[in-house]
Structure 1
Amino acid sequence: MNEHPHPHQRRHRDRTDELPDHVTQDAVVVVPGIMGSTLHDTTTGKDVWGIGGISWLLKAWTTPSGLKSLTMTEDELAGKTGRIKATGLLKHSAWTPYLAGSEPYTDLVDTIRTSVADDAAILEFAYDWRLPVAANGRLLADAARLHLTGWRRHPAHAEARRHRADQREGRLVFVAHSMGGLVTRAALDPGYDGDLQADTRGVITLGTPFQGSVKAAVILATGRGTPVRLPHRKLRAMCATMPGLHDLLPQYRSLRAGDDVRHLTPSDVAAIGGNAELTRNAARFHHGQKSITLPGHRSVVGVNQPTWQNLTITDGTVEAHFDGARQNSDGTFILDRHDRVRYFQVYGDGTVYKESAVLTDIVTHLPLQHGDVAKAQTALEAVTEIVRDDINPGPPQGEAGCGLSAPDLVQAGRPWKLRLSDVDTLSGLTCRLTDLENPTRPIPLTLTWEDGVATATATAPTPGLYRIDVRTPDGCDITQLAMAADPDEPLAEAED
């Protein structure tokens, strides 16, 4: 359906070219999610996140000093930023414990190029995702305003207007993945730029945790209680004082406490290793965001993937649950026949459960994992339709595909298992493991039934970053990244 240029291709239209009718006169702003911007340390002159090379990823996560530069300093916590500079959108696959993997935004940007009059219409907004969402929202508001002003003066803007049924002046369209949706909503706060909402034609959010994610609490708790492997411990140490991560904590009633389910409190978060003050700031921030309207908002939401919804805290240790409490229209919890809270497995994209990613009734459901919801072909088609503003994306399609459960960290040379949910037959179902250093030689995986669940045993032959690909008979592709560590080199302890 879409014409996709070759990856990394850059295009500036010749003014004499005839523009297709589907080309929009609007300016598009691409806003990545957490871990989705490359970062540079201005004091050391070194890139500290998102650089190319899988060997760098292995070293960063498996050595004590790796990623140390990403830890928030006292000055940064006090608001004195600038040490870390965002340099661009992620252009290489990256891996993070629990978040499984961050896919590059190259395909998303290249897809948007097929719908705009010139490359100048696209702004790739990179930001320091460690900082508060509110701070990045203001930076985005300023950048979007400058981008729109510049685009309206561009010759291609006037040409694009002449080819549209509505020859109005160009406006903004935000395409935001994950945390990027929260940053976009903060940017559209009328208390900062009162005209930005009116100058925005639409907002497309891809897997945005508007109500937060249980994974944020799990990350803060990792390393407490039973011993864990270094990458997970390192992530907790890095995120313990990171405002951006605290902004992703669940804002709905997610904590199971006896016969009740309540909100996480600052003391709860402090008990598992987070920061009480940052938790209070996040709650105040989210409360103030509820009144902000996203113009022309449409959500692309991942579904069918097992996703944590609730949690239990015991002696500082977090247990996450794949089901959660649901409420009646009057706000009371749905109870079972014994008058106890009833729990439902709603699913999501593996990181954000479905209901957290929805703000309005205009939703496109796709059976995708969180990292792939801004990269898979089905998601890119939905983005194209909305950017072009000439095709209705249609009703939610939530019954296709399947769920994928796989470990995020494995040992090279040692077998491990992945499982698929919502699978009725193995006929027409394919699964493979691809070493991203050698992507042309994927390893086919054999699926069998184990206790009624479609299961495959896989082995990553060497250390590196691997992509698990599942294709279902209905043509859906579900993917996840997994890191394979060297089993002969025990993981060192992290520096706290």
Structure 2
Amino acid sequence: MNQPRGQVRPAPAPHISPSLTHRTTHDAIVIVPGIMGSELYDTTTGKVIWGIADPRWLTHAWLRPKGLAPLHLTDEERTGHYSRVKARRLLQTPVWSPFLRGIEPYTRLVNLAEECAAHRDAVMTFPYDWRLPIAVNARRLAKEARDHLQNWRDHSAQPEARRQALEDRPARLVFLAHSMGGLVTNTALTLGGDKDLVADTRGVLTLGTPFQGSVVAANILNASQGAPLPLPHTRLAAAAATMPAVHELLPRFRCLEDGMDVHRLTPGDVAALGGDKDLFAQAQDFFSTLYAQQLPQQQPVVGVRQDTVQSLTLTDGVVRASEYGFITASDGELSRDPNGTPRRMQVWGDGTVHRSSAAVTTPTIPLAAQHGALANNKKMLPLIEDFLLDHDALIRGPEQGDEGIGLTTPDYVTPESSWECTITGTDEPADVDCRIANIDGSWSSNDFSFDVTGDDRLSANTNVPDAGLYRITARADYGPEVTQLVFAGPSRSSGES
């Protein structure tokens, strides 16, 4: 409608935005890392023995004969005296390990927790000596979590935080636990000696926790036997054979193929593959006690779309791991075909923990990501924020959470030699953008040559110029970006010193 000539239109009323309250949680947050996720310090030598990302340290640790000697449990530690090694903080930089490949730092996770918390003092990180029995670390976590909650309830910022909260109740605990940290957390809540800790816990979010173990632990212990492997693998096997925690990560599901049968590992099997039968027997007793308890309510995040070993054969002491598992009926019996052969199925996982092992309860949140990067994944962070802020939407998981690509890389390569990684989830090279860079950012390349190797599977060949730690990133138009760490070092076999 036209305005009459000479008439002045009144100015519109100014739009006034109401003040918005920044949403935070008034609960106390505890972050529990996974195996190898804490920096370790030797109090007798005054040196950091795990957690330095300098490639020179990696070369020293993994390639020199005594490079991992400080990580071996001593006879004194085997008898329960644990004062030698202290866990001082969470990883600050990426590290690498054979079989487990890359372990990313928890910086993004800690920053997010502090942003969601009413005060930075409401966030506690729990570094721990991941070599030791889970129960040892769990008892300490139970005590420190209780102290943290009480200190936060007594904090000067708590009254205002509680007034801003959606629920008028005292602050409770929220645990964010990656990998083995989920086992430590569950043990702290059930067997940690504080019978009220579960009632004072609002939630537990687990990221790739191996509730039923991982075949990768068998690969680690077996690396000193069979065909020659690079020195890092044999160094880790020697150290792992002394560690209770590695034996507690061995698979507890039916995984060992034996003719027409599949059974669980026994202490004798573990001894045959290179582990310690007594440590495994103790691990079995521990889990029998743990899973006899009612575990606290929790939300598991499971890695998907990544090639993940799920079963093994053991011949003359040598493990051959396979990327398929076995179907069992509701009564626990194996499902067999008409010929009596056990039915096999590829379940995928996060490259270290297969999906079924990480899914202690349902529903789960699926994410296409590698194990060591689950807590650092950009697609995961909004879901963690929802969990911290107690949004109901979290249990539905991300839209199309099972979609995405997989990335399988060698864990150890030699400089200037061509090597292959595998992309799953597509057979179109144009769908994928791959890049490799050393972790200090001084070199990068997108020079990958692709070949189609099967339905929804590509091989990608590349190389690196020097020894050091490198990160490969693969992206597609759908699903999250997938990353993995690769260590480049000299070509040396287990027979060399």
TM range (shorter): over 0.9
2:429 matches 1:426: yes
Which string of whole-angstrom CA distances, capped at 9 and with x for unpartnered residues, describes residues 354-373 of structure 1? 00001111311001100111
| Distance (Å, rounded) in 2 between the aligned partners of 1:201 and 1:118 | 18
Contact 1:201 1:295 in 2 (8 A): no
Q: 1:390-429 maps to which residues of 2 (within 5 A)?
A: 390-396=391-397, 397-429=400-432
Of the structure 1 ranges 471-480 and 388-397, higher mean CA displacement relative to structure 2 is found in 388-397
| Distance (Å, rounded) in 2 between the aligned partners of 1:205 and 1:451 | 34
In the other structure, the counterpart of 1:460 is 464
Q: CA RMSD in A?
A: 1.7
Of the structure 1 ranges 462-471 and 154-163, higher mean CA displacement relative to structure 2 is found in 154-163
Which string of whole-angstrom CA distances, capped at 9 and with x for unpartnered residues, describes residues 149-179 of structure 1? 1010112222111111212111000100000
Which string of whole-angstrom CA distances, capped at 9 and with x for unpartnered residues, describes residues 314-372 of structure 1? 11110101001111122221112322101111000000000000111131100110011
Contact 1:190 1:197 in 2 (8 A): no
2:199 matches 1:195: no
Contact 1:297 1:362 in 2 (8 A): no
2:248 matches 1:247: yes
Contact 2:213 2:357 in 1 (8 A): yes
Contact 2:408 2:421 in 1 (8 A): yes
Cα distance change, pair 240–145 in 1 and its aligned pair in 2 (3 A)? same
TM-fit CA distance, 1:190: 5.2
Q: How many pairs were matched up? A: 476
Of the structure 1 ranges 113-122 and 437-446, higher mean CA displacement relative to structure 2 is found in 437-446
In the other structure, the counterpart of 1:366 is 367
Amino acid paired to 1:220: L
Question: Structure 2 length as normaliser, TM-score?
Answer: 0.92
**3-state SS of paired residue (1:392):** helix
In the other structure, the counterpart of 1:483 is 487
**3-state SS of paired residue (1:155):** coil
**3-state SS of paired residue (1:86):** strand
| Distance (Å, rounded) in 2 between the aligned partners of 1:298 and 1:449 | 37
2:476 matches 1:472: yes
Contact 2:68 2:236 in 1 (8 A): no
Structure 2: give runs of 5+ residues left out of the alignment. Answer: 1-18
**3-state SS of paired residue (2:431):** coil
| Distance (Å, rounded) in 2 between the aligned partners of 1:38 and 1:285 | 26
Cα distance change, pair 159–295 in 1 and its aligned pair in 2 (3 A)? farther
**3-state SS of paired residue (1:483):** strand
Which string of whole-angstrom CA distances, capped at 9 and with x for unpartnered residues, describes residues 263-291 of structure 1? 10011101111111110110111111114
Structure 1: give runs of 5+ residues left out of the alignment. Answer: 1-17
TM-fit CA distance, 1:295: 3.6
| Distance (Å, rounded) in 2 between the aligned partners of 1:355 and 1:129 | 23
Amino acid paired to 1:381: P
| Distance (Å, rounded) in 2 between the aligned partners of 1:119 and 1:479 | 29
Q: 1:8-407 maps to which residues of 2 (within 5 A)?
A: 20-189=21-190, 192-396=193-397, 397-407=400-410
Question: Structure 1 length as normaliser, TM-score?
Answer: 0.93
Contact 2:229 2:494 in 1 (8 A): no
TM-fit CA distance, 1:394: 4.6
| Distance (Å, rounded) in 1 between the aligned partners of 2:316 and 2:229 | 17
Contact 1:307 1:352 in 2 (8 A): yes
Amino acid paired to 1:90: L
Q: For the pair shown, which has the larger CA radius of gyration, 1 or 2? A: 2
Amino acid paired to 1:61: W
| Distance (Å, rounded) in 2 between the aligned partners of 1:493 and 1:33 | 31
| Distance (Å, rounded) in 2 between the aligned partners of 1:55 and 1:19 | 50
